Amino acid sequence: MAHLAIKGGKRIREDKFPIYNPIGKEEKRAVEKVLSSGILSKFLGTWSNDFYGGNEVKLFEAEWATFYKVKHAVAVNSATSGLYCAVGATGAGPGDEIIVSPYTMSASAIAPLIYNAIPVFADIEKDHYCLSPEEVIKNITNRTKAIIVVDIFGQPYDSEAINKIAKKNNLLVIEDAAQAPGAMYKNKYAGTLGDIGIYSLNYHKHIHTGEGGIVVTNNDELAERIRLIRNHAEAVVEGKRYSNLVNMLGFNYRMTEIEAAIGRKQLQKLPDLLEKRLHLVQYLSQKLKNIPCLKTPQIRKNCKHSFYVYPLQYQKHISNIHRDIFVDAVNAELNINSVGKGYVKPLYLEPIYQKKIAYGNRGCPWSCQFYRGSVNYDLGICPVTESMHNDILITHDLIHPNMTLHDLDDVYSAFMKVWEYRSELI
């Protein structure tokens, strides 16, 4: 008689896990106040008193800047928009290269293409999954304009090493901190470690406004360029008497008053929500250490991780079963399909990079006359990323604050049961 659920045995869990929902009565009251005012947005795409938006947006930006101890916080309608603003603000354009991560959400690598710059993929670290400083160095050329680092899964990037590399090569560092609100390195917040930082407020992040994002910087000029790109720059520069027209193209990346009102309440909750998450992570890690084929998350020295997801490394040489088979069995025990095999396919293997087609059908920007380089997107260029995705990494988000210790006991029991009865999978 089989023990494992995937082979017909009884599951560890039948009930669904709780859904993460940090929205409460405070946010509802804030939304009602905005609705009653009748002012749901107050941006105007011209140089005027309302160019910077309405009262809620301005208050949200001020409160975010105070919390994160930065000079400037700019609210946008998504972290994707924030990344596009950040790249535009650097002045990147045709002929330039920007070093990016291959193991993250697609927008982090697409952002250079918005301005006809070329994404160049560098490999990741084996234990922390962020850009490897050594691999960044290998990919710098005289065309490199910036580095987009990602605090993947909530782990701050190696800021000391990469910032030093950037300074030596006169490069800007754009920090995608979408998954790392509240994470820290040496008591400095993730998102504030580079020249520009971007946070996400979309619905499954630590705190959210449905959709939304915040861009932060301590650089006055970069901040102003980000604000211009956010709100129809080409229609504003003349009235504002702003002379640098590089990348001053018009977009509408504006946040609404409703989103800002929700965000203000969510920001107040972040410390408590994060501490609850870290408590659950510590509890689960202590248990999972008892399973020989699993390696629990490694946290960079002097860092506070924010655990957007919980990454495990699977060691096939101990279990003699491929990770994918093991994960399928765990999902069957928990009656879910959300324990993941890896994270995302290495981005350079997506069709846009394999075919090198973005604008029109002529291969732009790779075929652009201003681009003098030759970038490689072949299988094998980032072996650590590929091994993590194909064989090693396991991810899940079953550590959010709506989970209970009893829920985590079931998660542990599922992994342990599959380990104990792994012979049924052979």
pLDDT tens for each residue of 198-236: 999 999 999 999 999 999 999 999 999 999 999 999 999
pLDDT at 159: 98
Asked if pLDDT for residue 261 goes beyond 90, the answer is yes
Q: Would you list the DSSP string of 38-91? A: T-S----SSSSTTTT--HHHHHHHHHHHHHHT-SEEEEES-HHHHHHHHHHHHT
The 3 state secondary structure assigned to 308-340 is CCEEEEECHHHHCCCHHHHHHHHHHHHCCCCCE
- Mean pLDDT lowest among 59-63, 80-84, 248-252, 281-285: 248-252
Peptide bond just before 365 cis, omega within 30 deg: yes
Mean pLDDT of the chain: 97
Q: Which CATH class is domain 25-266?
A: alpha beta
The pLDDT confidence band at residue 294, using thresholds 50, 70 and 90, is very high
- Average pLDDT of 28-47? 97
Amino acid, single-letter form, for residue 1: M
- Average pLDDT of 116-140? 98
Give backbone dihedrals phi and psi of 359, rounded to 5 degrees, phi first: -110, 120
Asked if pLDDT for residue 367 goes beyond 90, the answer is yes
Asked if pLDDT for residue 259 goes beyond 90, the answer is yes
Q: Which two three-digit tokens encode residue 11?
A: 């599951």
DSSP 105: -
Asked if pLDDT for residue 243 goes beyond 90, the answer is yes
pLDDT-above-70 percentage for the chain: 100
Of 349, 316, 337, give the one whose Cα is nearest residue 396: 337
pLDDT tens for each residue of 373-386: 999 999 999 999 99
Q: How many CB atoms lie within 10 A of CB 248?
A: 18
pLDDT-above-90 percentage for the chain: 100
Q: How many CB atoms lie within 10 A of CB 374?
A: 7
- Average pLDDT of 330-339? 98
Asked if pLDDT for residue 250 goes beyond 90, the answer is no
Amino acid, single-letter form, for residue 3: H
Asked if pLDDT for residue 393 goes beyond 90, the answer is yes
Q: How many CB atoms lie within 10 A of CB 130?
A: 23
Question: What does the longest C-alpha to C-alpha distance in the chain come to?
Answer: 79
The pLDDT confidence band at residue 1, using thresholds 50, 70 and 90, is confident
How many residues make up the chain in this entry?
426
